[in-house]
């Protein structure tokens, strides 16, 4: 799922391409995408883009008459751009018939299209009017670049959750998801299952600094990767990541193997040496199978795997 760094880079690219441009036509190819009926989508056509904004992980495109297109890409949604010279009628037909194409927005400068890989249609588009309606989409998470360590700590300790859950809760912190929370916790050398209300003041300050440093680093990397082009390589798994998606690979800090906790369709990656004092955290699938024989360290886990 695109998170804060990805959304920021998307918005920077859109600002260069559609700000002050007029939306000529909005085409919806999937009936599952548009979640509002009033005002009708045709109301947005012919309106000029006057603002671009991020609300958590949502991209908000402000139009004249206080209209807002609110787009949530969810896990597999991605944006694409074609300059006006290439945005032909043939391209419009392709968007309609494409297996993954959900929508196309034609501006005077080019066409912004939305695709979503897979069969599950989770991406959403809302058209609302007025700031009050727009605010309904703000989950209330703290913006980490607009706060200080003290306020960050107050929000973190407002409920006793694991660090992983707290960082990825959009009601607590804005724009952080599964991928970048792994990178933040590795940078801070803190366990993903450490309880928020048990953290020391120095650990909270370290987490605050790591959160800002990690997100800043990734915005810089993504910005450099996109260059003058539109960001097309938006993914939760990048080779530059320290350990997200790197299960079984060496930790870039200590060299020991990255481990994981699996749950539902997600997983948390962590380094036992750098983050948990050498302790192996229980993986739900394996620990249920092994029960009392669940290994306590990464070394014991390797022995179990060799014996299987």
One-letter-per-residue 3-state SS of 95-108: HHHCCCEEEEEEEC
Q: Is 75 helix (H, G, I), strand (E, B) or coil?
A: coil
Distance CA 33, CA 121 (A): 7
pLDDT, tens only, 140-186: 999 999 999 999 999 999 999 999 999 999 999 999 999 999 999 99
Domain count, the chain: 3
Residues 178 and 279 in one domain: no
Distance CA 209, CA 149 (A): 8
Residue 91, pLDDT above cutoff 80: no
Residue 136, pLDDT above cutoff 60: yes
Q: How far is CA 236 from the centre of its chain?
A: 8
Nearest of 245, 233, 247 to residue 301 by alpha carbon: 247
Q: 33 near 25, Cβ under 8 Å?
A: no
Q: Which of 200, 223, 240 corresponds to the end of one domain?
A: 240
Q: Which of 112, 135, 158 corresponds to the end of one domain?
A: 135
3-state DSSP of 251-284: CCCCCCECEEEEECCEEEEECHHHHCCCECCCCH
- Count of helix runs (H) and strand runs (E) in the chain: 10, 10
Nearest of 246, 2, 238, 261 to residue 115 by alpha carbon: 2
Distance CA 173, CA 298 (A): 31
Distance CA 280, CA 260 (A): 9
Residues 225 and 186 in one domain: yes
Residues in the chain: 308
CB atoms within 10 A of CB 222: 20
- Residue 100's pLDDT band, with cuts at 50, 70 and 90, is low
- Residue 298's pLDDT band, with cuts at 50, 70 and 90, is very low
pLDDT, tens only, 242-288: 999 999 999 999 999 999 998 767 889 999 999 999 999 986 554 44
Q: 113 near 105, Cβ under 8 Å?
A: yes
Residues 11 and 107 in one domain: yes
Q: How far is CA 176 from the centre of its chain?
A: 6
- Residue 306's pLDDT band, with cuts at 50, 70 and 90, is very low
Residues 147 and 224 in one domain: yes
Residues 248 and 221 in one domain: no
Q: Is 62 helix (H, G, I), strand (E, B) or coil?
A: strand
Residues 8 and 127 in one domain: yes
What CATH number does residue 191 fall under? 1.10.8.50
pLDDT at 95: 47
Residues 112 and 227 in one domain: no
pTM of the model: 0.88
pLDDT, tens only, 7-55: 999 999 999 999 999 999 999 998 889 999 999 999 999 999 999 999 9
Burial class from Cβ neighbours inside 10 Å (0-12, 13-18, 19+) for residue 175 reads buried
Residues 16 and 59 in one domain: yes
Residues 49 and 167 in one domain: no
Nearest of 183, 190, 250, 167 to residue 221 by alpha carbon: 183
Domain hosting residue 295, numbered range: 242-308
Q: Is 292 helix (H, G, I), strand (E, B) or coil?
A: helix
Distance CA 114, CA 103 (A): 5
Residues 104 and 16 in one domain: yes
Residues 166 and 151 in one domain: yes
What CATH number does residue 99 fall under? 3.20.190.10
pLDDT at 120: 75
Give me the phi and psi of 79, to 5 degrees please.
-105, 150
Residues 218 and 127 in one domain: no
Q: Which of 83, 101, 135 corresponds to the end of one domain?
A: 135
Over range 203-213, report the average pLDDT: 98
Q: 183 near 218, Cβ under 8 Å?
A: yes
CB atoms within 10 A of CB 61: 24
């Amino acid at each position: 799922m695109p998170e804060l760094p990805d959304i920021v880079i998307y918005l920077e690219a859109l600002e260069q391409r559609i700000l002050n441009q007029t939306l000529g036509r909005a085409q919806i190819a999937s009936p599952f995408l548009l979640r509002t009926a009033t005002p009708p989508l045709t109301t947005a056509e012919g309106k000029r883009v006057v603002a671009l904004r991020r609300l958590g992980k949502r991209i908000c495109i402000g139009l004249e008459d206080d209209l807002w297109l609110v787009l949530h890409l969810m896990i597999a949604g991605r944006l694409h751009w074609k300059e006006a010279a290439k945005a032909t009628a043939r391209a419009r037909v392709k968007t309609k018939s494409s297996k993954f194409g959900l929508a196309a927005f034609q501006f005077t400068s080019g066409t912004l299209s939305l695709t979503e890989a897979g069969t599950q249609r989770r991406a959403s588009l809302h058209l609302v009017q007025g700031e009050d309606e727009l605010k309904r989409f703000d989950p209330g998470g703290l913006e980490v670049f607009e706060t200080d360590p003290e306020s960050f700590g107050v929000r973190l300790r407002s409920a006793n959750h694991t660090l992983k859950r707290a960082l990825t809760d959009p009601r607590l912190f804005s724009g952080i998801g599964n991928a970048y929370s792994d990178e933040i916790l590795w940078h801070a050398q803190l366990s993903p299952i450490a309880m928020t209300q048990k953290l020391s003041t120095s650990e909270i300050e370290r987490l605050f600094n790591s959160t800002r440093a990690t997100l800043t680093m990734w915005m810089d990397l993504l910005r450099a990767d996109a260059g003058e082009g539109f960001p097309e390589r938006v993914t939760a798994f990048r080779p530059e990541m320290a350990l997200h998606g790197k299960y079984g690979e060496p930790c870039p800090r200590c060299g020991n193997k990255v481990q994981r906790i699996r749950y539902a369709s997600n997983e948390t990656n962590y380094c036992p040496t750098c983050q948990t004092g050498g302790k192996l955290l229980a993986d739900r699938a394996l620990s249920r199978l092994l029960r009392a024989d669940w290994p306590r360290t990464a070394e014991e886990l390797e022995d179990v795997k060799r014996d299987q």
